[in-house]
């Protein structure tokens, strides 16, 4: 689809930043590492399949590239970019083609 993506780590040292004195889990961590902290938070809700294997999942963080305040470039126009829509459509098409 031509959109650049990169797998990011899920550092275990970020998990304690989600500890809470009043809840099972806080939904916001410290100031830094927001994207990775959000992924660590979401991981807490991903279960296992019937065979006991971790269910594959992805956290697609589009906060930065979702809006273009600058000039249009390539197929990215000004304002809402539709970031990763092309990638997700191509992914679903690949899954359906393999079925």
Predicted confidence (pLDDT) per residue in 32-81, tens digit: 778 899 999 999 999 999 999 999 999 998 888 888 888 888 878 888 88
Are 61 and 39 contacting, i.e. CB atoms less than 8 angstroms apart?
yes
Question: Strands, DSSP E only, in the chain?
Answer: 67-68, 79-80
Report pLDDT for 2.
83
Is the pTM value of this prediction over 0.85?
Answer: no
- Per-residue tokens: 55: 């269910």
Report pLDDT for 76.
80
More confident residue, 43 or 4: 43
Report pLDDT for 19.
94
The tens digit of pLDDT for each residue in 11-38 reads 999 999 999 999 999 988 877 778 899 9
Instruction: For residue 19, count CB atoms less than 10 angstroms from its CB and return exposed for 0-12, middle for 13-18, buried for 19 or more.
Output: exposed
Are 88 and 96 contacting, i.e. CB atoms less than 8 angstroms apart?
no
- Per-residue tokens: 18: 């989600």
């Amino acid at each position: 689809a031509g959109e650049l993506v990169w797998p990011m780590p899920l550092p275990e040292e970020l998990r304690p930043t989600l500890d809470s004195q009043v809840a099972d889990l806080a939904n916001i961590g410290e100031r830094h590492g927001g994207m990775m902290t959000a992924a660590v938070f979401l991981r807490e809700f991903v279960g296992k399949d019937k065979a006991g294997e971790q269910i594959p999942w992805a956290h697609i963080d589009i906060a930065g590239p979702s809006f273009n305040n600058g000039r249009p470039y390539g197929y990215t126009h000004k304002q809402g970019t539709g970031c990763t829509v092309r990638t997700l459509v191509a992914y679903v098409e690949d899954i359906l083609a393999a079925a």
